[in-house]
Amino acid sequence: MLEELARHAGQLVSKQNLSMNALGRPLARYDRSIDVHISSIRHKLGPRNDNQSWIQSVRNLGYMLITP
C-alpha cells in the first residue's frame, strides 16, 4: 500500500485504487481495511519534522503521501 502511495506521491490516490492495486480486490461499501492499513503505515513511519503525518487523508476520497 505504501508502494502505491509512493508511486503517486503528492497526488490523491482513491481508496478504490488502493484496494484494487494493493489488496487485489474491489472496495466493499463498509470496508475499513484500507483505513486500518493506513493507520498501521502512519504508526510505522512516525511523524514528519513538523509533527504532521506523512499520509494525508482526503475525506471520502482517499489518501495522499506528502513529499518532503
Burial 6-41 (b: 16+ CB within 10 A, else e): eebeeeebebebbbeebeeeebeeeeebbeebbeeb
What domains can you pick out in the chain, each with its CATH number?
A: 2-65 (1.10.10.10)
State the Cα–Cα distance between residues 23 and 61, nearest whole angstrom: 17
* pLDDT in the model for residue 61: 92
pLDDT at 60 over 90: no
Residue 68 confidence (pLDDT) above 90: no
Instruction: Give the predicted TM-score (pTM) of the model.
Output: 0.87
Which residue, 66, 31, 55, 46, is CA-closest to 15? 31
- What integer pLDDT is reported at residue 46 of this predicted model? 94
pLDDT tens digits along 2-53 = 999 999 999 999 999 999 998 899 988 888 999 999 999 999 999 998 989 9
